[in-house]
Amino acid sequence: MQKLIKITQLSKILNLVDTKTKKPLNHILRYWEKEFTQIKPKKINNQRYYSSKDVEILRFINFLLKVKKMTIKGAKEILRLNIIKLDGNQKFSLKNEYYKEFLKTKSKSILNKVNKLKNYGKKNSS
């Protein structure tokens, strides 16, 4: 069975949160749904649930828009042409850049969690 992710969880995963209030910016995902036909969340009881395929596409869209600073039109063209599959074996490809950025973000997240655990242990050892 495939795990489905709610829109709020996905907003947090993609770091689509308001910097001041820390509230998830779900409206961005709803907008992207309208713009990118590849995203098809399941709606159960009027709630959006995203499959792992949707999450991967949205991560790539987020990368194109936020990291590569592409326009919606440019990102649509990349997805339409399926460039991510075509350039996978090249050293300097969009796919490689995407995975490097993903690993960098994931590593920072893990490092922050480890540091929190270290600090938590120091507080309790006294």
Please write the tens of the pLDDT for every residue from 46-56: 999 999 999 98
> Which residues form the domain of 44?
5-124
Confidence (pTM): 0.68
Q: Assign residue 46 the CATH number of its domain.
A: 1.10.1660
Q: Which of 15, 26, 9 is nearest to 101 (CA)?
A: 15
Q: pLDDT tens, 3-26?
A: 899 999 999 999 999 999 999 999
How many domains, the chain? Answer: 1
